[in-house]
Chain A
Amino acid sequence: AQSVTQLGSHVSVSEGALVLLRCNYSSSVPPYLFWYVQYPNQGLQLLLKYTSAATLVKGINGFEAEFKKSETSFHLTKPSAHMSDAAEYFCAVSDGYGYSTLTFGKGTMLLVSP
């Protein structure tokens, strides 16, 4: 069975500061990992995904994540936060085979202050 743990239900940063959102996964097979963002009253939008190619994955809006197998982690970072980054972020895992599904973490709300 797969699972995802996101550390911190809320993370607060100042505009221009580093953003770090933590995600640890558990999977019995090599995982496929995803980060999604959800703005208020909207659906989820894919930020980036890891599918066993490069361990450092670059996504949209300046976000990137690094897959670390030894730490079973896939943390999301952005060098400089912008007010428009305020949203809820979800990490998800899939085993990637056939009709496999996404298993989501509980989400982390990112708050950005001026």
Chain B
Amino acid sequence: KAGVTQTPRYLIKTRGQQVTLSCSPISGHRSVSWYQQTPGQGLQFLFEYFSETQRNKGNFPGRFSGRQFSNSRSEMNVSTLELGDSALYLCASSIGPPVSSYEQYFGPGTRLTVT
């Protein structure tokens, strides 16, 4: 069974631009969560989607948005990029909530560098 795939793996953008990251969950998984990982703040939850609906959102500005498609694939978008948005963005998929019952499987991440 293929794991969680994230594209692209590496990305360099300029301040003020916008970026879209993609996540394909494991086949049969309907829940997708996004996390931001930085050396300073560690792993922080961005949002979770289940059955095309955002079910939970972390404490991030509105520049961060996402969506989930009918095939469970998910995208996240960051507009008006800032230097502080440089991070590893991780996607995790699971069969569904809650996390106590269903393991989250993480992708390798997209490394975003903002210059």
Contact = CB atoms under 8 A, between A and B. Distances in A.
Interface residues of A, number: 25
B88 to A, nearest CB: 9
A67 interface: no
A30 to B, nearest CB: 10
Interface in B58-115: 58, 90, 92, 97-101, 103-104, 106-109
Given A42-B108, A43-B106, A46-B104, A101 B45 contact: yes
Given A41-B108, A43-B108, A99 B56 contact: yes
A96 interface: yes
- The SS class assigned to the A binding surface is loop
A91 B38 CA distance: 16
A77 interface: no
A100 B102 CA distance: 12
A99 B48 contact: yes
A63 interface: no
B97 A43 contact: no
Interface string A48-71: 010100000000000000000000
A43 B107 contact: yes
